A and B are shown apart, each in its own frame.
Chain A
Amino acid sequence: MSSTFETVAGIMSETADIPRETITPESHAIEDLGIDSLAFLDIAFAVDKAFGIKLPLEQWTQDVNEGKVPAEEYFVVKNLVSRIDALVAAKGA
Chain B
Amino acid sequence: MRLEYFEMIDRVAVLDLEAGRIEATSTVPEASPVFEGHFPGHPLVPGVLLTETMAQASGYLVLARDGFGRMPFLMAVDKARFREFVGPGDALRVTAELTHEGSGYVATRAAISVAGRKVADAELRFRTVPFPPGLDARMRREAARIGLPRRP
- In the complex, per-residue mask of A42-65: 1 if CB is within 8 Å of any chain B CB, else 0: 101100110000111111010000
Q: Which residue of A lies closest to B101 (CB)?
A: A54
What is B's interface to A at a CB cutoff of 8 Å? 75-76, 100-105, 107, 125, 127
Q: Is the CB of A58 within 8 A of B100?
A: no
Q: Is the CB of A48 within 8 A of B75?
A: no
A55 CA to B100 CA, complexed, in Å: 12
B76 partner residues in chain A, CB cutoff 8 A:
42, 45
A59 CA to B103 CA, complexed, in Å: 8
A55 partner residues in chain B, CB cutoff 8 A:
102-103
A44 CA to B102 CA, complexed, in Å: 8
Q: Is the CB of A57 within 8 A of B103?
A: yes
A-B contact count (CB 8 A): 35
What is A's interface to B at a CB cutoff of 8 Å? 38, 41-42, 44-45, 48-49, 54-59, 61
A35 CA to B75 CA, complexed, in Å: 15
7 nearest A-B pairs in the assembled complex, by CB-CB distance:
A57-B103, A58-B104, A58-B103, A56-B103, A41-B105, A57-B104, A48-B102
Q: Which residue of B lies closest to A55 (CB)?
A: B103
B101 partner residues in chain A, CB cutoff 8 A:
54
Q: Is the CB of B100 within 8 A of A41?
A: no
Q: Is the CB of A41 within 8 A of B107?
A: no
A44 partner residues in chain B, CB cutoff 8 A:
102-103, 105
Smallest beta-carbon distance A38→chain B, Å: 6
- Of B76, B105, B107, B127, most buried by chain A (CB within 10 Å of CB) is B105
Q: Is the CB of B127 within 8 A of A45?
A: no
Q: 19 extra interchain contacts, Cβ-Cβ under 8 A, other than A41-B102, A45-B125, A55-B102?
A: A38-B75, A41-B125, A41-B127, A42-B125, A44-B102, A44-B105, A45-B76, A45-B100, A45-B102, A45-B105, A45-B107, A48-B100, A48-B102, A54-B102, A54-B103, A57-B104, A58-B104, A59-B103, A61-B104
16 contacts between A and B (CB under 8 A): A38-B75, A38-B127, A41-B102, A41-B104, A41-B105, A41-B125, A45-B76, A45-B100, A45-B105, A45-B125, A54-B102, A54-B103, A55-B103, A57-B102, A57-B104, A58-B103
B127 partner residues in chain A, CB cutoff 8 A:
38, 41
A54 partner residues in chain B, CB cutoff 8 A:
101-103
